[in-house]
Amino acid sequence: MPELFAQTDVAGFEQYLLLGLVVGSLYALIALGYTMVYGIIELINFAHGDLFMLGTFLALSLATWVGVETVTGQGNAAIAATVLVMLVVTPLACASLNILTDRVVYKPLRNSPKLTVIVSAIGVSFIFMNLGLFWKGATPVRFPDLIPDNNLIAGTGLAFTWKDLMVVGVTVPAMIALTLFVKFTPLGKAMRATAQNPTAAQLMGINVDRVIAATFGIGGALAGVASVVYGLYIKSVDYQIGFQNGLYAFTAAVLGGIGNIPGAVLGGIVIGVVGELSKAYLGAKWSEATIFAILIVILLFRPAGLLGARVREKV
Amino acid sequence: MSSPLLEVTDLEAGYGPINVLHKLSLRVDRGEIVAMIGANGAGKTTTLMCLSGVVKARGGKIVLDGKDLVADRVPAHNIVKLGLAQSPEGRKIFSRLSVLENLEMGAFTRSDKDGVKADIEKAFVMFPILRERQHQAGGLLSGGQQQMLAIARALMARPKLLLLDEPSLGLAPQIVVQIFDVIKELNKQGVSVLLVEQNARMALKVAHRGYVLETGRITFTDKADVLLNDPRIRAAYLGE
Ligand SMILES: Nc1ncnc2c1ncn2[C@@H]1O[C@H](COP(=O)(O)OP(=O)(O)OP(=O)(O)O)[C@@H](O)[C@H]1O
Ligand SMILES: [Mg+2]
C-alpha cells in the first residue's frame, strides 16, 4: 500500500478501514481452522497455514486445467464456472488432506504429551511447504486474475471493488454458516461438547474420533475457501504464503481467545484493520510490529483473549 | 430367573504400566441399587469408566444385558445405546453449553424427538431448578445444581443401568438427602443403579447390596444391611 495519504486524510482512513475489514475477514476464515482444532484437541496446528498455501496452488491448477487463466476471451459464464469449481473442489481437497493428516499423524499421538503433537505439526508444516516448493517452485506464481477491479461505489470517494465484494461475499456467508452449524446441528453441538469435556462427550455416546475428524474437515474446508479467495484477491501466490498468513491467522485466533469461534472472527478483523491502518499511517515496515504490540497489550489485560473464557469453570 | 443386567467377571484395567483393577467381579440385577464403597484410589472411578468404555478393559468380561462389551470390543459411543449411562465423578457438566443443551447431549444417541422432549419435561419436574435455569450456561450452576444436571443428563439416555460416581461429593447435607431421594425414586421407576460413594452410610442405606473395593479387589460383598452392621466395615468405612 503506497504511503500517499497524510494522516489527516479522512477519506483515506475510511478506505483503510474498509480494506482492513476485507483482509481481516480472510484472516478470520483461516483463524477458524486454528481455533476449532485447538478447541477440540488443544493442538496448535502449525500446518494449517501451509494447508492454505497448498489450497491456493490447487485452485491455481484448477484454473489451468479448465483453461480459464485470464479474463480476456472468456465469457462471464466460463469465469463464474471456474470460480465455482475452485470454490467447490479446493475446500473438499483441503478438508480431505486435513482429515488424512489427523488420521495419519495426530490421531496415533492422541495420548502423547502435547509437545510431541505440536512438534509433529511443525513437521507436517515443513512437509506441506516442501510439497508446495516441489509443486510450483520457489518463485511467486501468478494467480488468474478473474475478478474485475472496477469500483462499485465510485463517487463516494472510497474504493470497493468486485474483488472486495467477492472476499466479503464468500467469507461472511461461510462464517455465518459455520456459526449456525455449530450452534444448532447435532454434530455442531457434539463438537462444542467434545471441546468442553471429551470424557463427558464419550459418556453421552458421542463418537469423539468422528467429531475430531469432522473438525479437521471443516477447518480444512474453510482454509480451502480462504485460499481461493486469497488467490483471486492477491493474484500472486508462493510456497511461503502459508507461513505469514498462518501466523497472522493464528495470532487472530489467540487475540480473539483460542478455541472461541466468534473470537477468531473478531481477532481476524482486528488484525486486518490494525494491519492496514498501521501500513498506511506508520509504514509497511511497522505493520507487523504494531499487530504484535497490540496483541501483547490485549493479552496483558485479557490473557484468555478478547472473547476467551467468559464462563468460569466451576469445580 | 432372568440373567443379571450387568455381570462383570475378572475385570482387569489400568493406566500405562499400572494395573488398577485386579480380577474384579460384580453383578447388578434388574431393579437393584448396588453400592460400591472403597477408600480413595481404590479404583471405583476406574471401574465405572471401564463399564462406560472410556477406560479400556485389559481382561475379563463385562456382560451388559447379555452382550459382552469386552469380547465384542464395543466402543464407548455405542455403550450408551445398549442402556448404560453414567453421571461421572466431578459431574463433568458441559460448562459453556446451556442447561437445556446439556440435557440434549444426554439424549445424543436418541432419534425420537418427541420422547426426548417429554423426558426433558420429566427432568424439569424432578429438578425444578433446572427448568428455571435452562438457558443458563451449565458452568454457572452451583455444585448441587450441577449434580442434579449430571444425573438428569444421564437419565436422558433412558438407561436401564445408571452409574453414579460420588453424587454426594461436596454437597450440603440437605442436597445430599434430596439426591438420594431421587435415586430411590428412579429405582422405583425401574432404573437399576450402580452407586459409587465415599459416603458409605448413605449409600448402603439406599442400596440392596454392596461391594467393598480395596486396591482394585473386591474384598467384601453382601446385602447392604449386613454390610452396614459388619464391625469391620463399620470400623473402616463408617467412621466408628
Ligand atoms: N488417568 C489416570 N492415569 C493414571 N492413573 C490413574 C488415572 N486415574 C486414576 N489413576 C490411578 O488409579 C487408581 C484408582 O483411581 P480411581 O480414580 O479409580 O480411584 P477411586 O476409587 O475412584 O478414588 P476416589 O475415591 O479418590 O475417587 C489410583 O491409584 C489413581 O492414582
Ligand atoms: Mg473416584
- How many domains does chain B fold into? 1
Instruction: Give the whole-angstrom CA distance, residue A75 versus residue A80.
Output: 9
- Nearest by Cα to B29 from B9, B48, B6, B8: B6
Q: Is residue A312 over pLDDT 70?
A: no
Range of the domain at B128: 6-237
According to DSSP, the residues that pair with B139 across neighbouring strands are: none
Under the banding of pLDDT at 50, 70 and 90, the label for residue B239 is confident
Flag if B140 and A201 touch (Cβ within 8 Å).
no
Q: Mind listing the pLDDT tens digit for each residue in B122-156?
A: 999 999 999 999 999 999 999 999 999 999 999 99
Residues of A with CB under 8 A from a CB of B: 186, 189-190, 192-193, 196-197, 199-208, 311-315
Return the percentage of chain A with pLDDT > 70, whole number.
94
Tell me which DSSP letter residue A108 carries.
G
Q: Which atom of ligand 1 is nearest to the CA of B43?
A: 18
Instruction: Please tell me if the CB atom of residue B51 comes closer than 6 angstroms to any atom of ligand 1.
Output: no
pLDDT by residue (tens digit) across A138-183? Answer: 999 999 999 999 999 988 888 999 999 999 999 999 999 999 999 9
Q: Residue A111 has what pLDDT?
A: 87
**In the prediction, which pLDDT does B179 show?**
94
> What is the predicted pLDDT for the residue at B238?
83
pTM, two decimal places: 0.90
Please state the atom number of ligand 1 nearest to the C-alpha of residue B196. Answer: 22
Confidence at residue B237, expressed as pLDDT on a 0 to 100 scale? 86
Side chain identity at B103, as an amino acid letter?
L
CATH of the domain at B122: 3.40.50.300
How confident is the model over A29-41, as a mean pLDDT?
93
Angle at B69 between CA B66 and CA B74, to 5 degrees: 125
User: Does residue B66 lie within any of the structural domains?
Assistant: yes
Q: Name the residue facing B96 among A186, A196, A207 (closest C-beta).
A: A196
Q: Is the CB of B14 under 6 A from ligand 1?
A: no
Average pLDDT rounded to a whole number, residues B159-164: 98
Tell me the average pLDDT of chain A.
Answer: 91
pLDDT band at A4, cuts 50/70/90?
Answer: very low
pLDDT of residue A299: 87
Question: Biggest alpha carbon distance in chain B?
Answer: 51
- The per-residue pLDDT for A3 is 45
On the question of pLDDT at A72 being above 80, the answer is: no
Confidence of residue A11 (pLDDT cuts 50, 70, 90): low
* CB-side neighbour CA atoms (13 Å) of B102: 37
- The answer to whether residue B1 is domain-embedded is no
Q: Which chain A positions have a beta carbon within 8 Å of B135's beta carbon?
A: none
- What long-range pairs does A114-123 form, CB within 8 A, spacing at least 24? A114/A42, A114/A43, A117/A41, A117/A43, A118/A43, A118/A44, A118/A46, A121/A43, A121/A44, A121/A45, A121/A46, A121/A47, A122/A46, A122/A47
A144, A251 Cβ separation under 8 angstroms: no
Q: Where exactly are the structural domains of chain A? A: 13-301
In which band, very low, low, confident or very high, does the pLDDT at A130 lie, cut at 50, 70 and 90? very high
Look at residue B71 and tell me if it is in a domain: yes
pLDDT at B37 over 60: yes
Residue spans of alpha helices (H) in chain B:
44-51, 76-79, 99-106, 113-126, 128-132, 143-155, 173-188, 200-206, 224-229, 231-237
Give the pLDDT band (50/70/90) at residue A216.
very high
Q: Provide the pLDDT for residue B142.
A: 94
pLDDT in tens, B39-68: 999 999 999 999 999 999 999 999 999 999
What is the reported pLDDT for A104?
97
User: Does B98 fall in a domain?
Assistant: yes
CATH of domain A13-301: 1.10.3470
Does A314 have pLDDT greater than 50?
A: no
Of A64-73, B4-13, B211-220, the range with the lowest mean pLDDT is A64-73
Binned at pLDDT 50, 70 and 90, residue A10 comes out as low
Whether residue B86 is predicted with pLDDT greater than 50 in this model: the reply is: yes
Q: How confident is the model at residue A6 (pLDDT cuts 50, 70, 90)?
A: very low
Collapse the DSSP code of A111 into the 3-class scheme (helix H, G, I; strand E, B; otherwise coil) and give the result. Answer: coil
ipTM above 0.90, yes or no: yes
Instruction: Give A244 or A2, the one with higher predicted confidence.
Output: A244
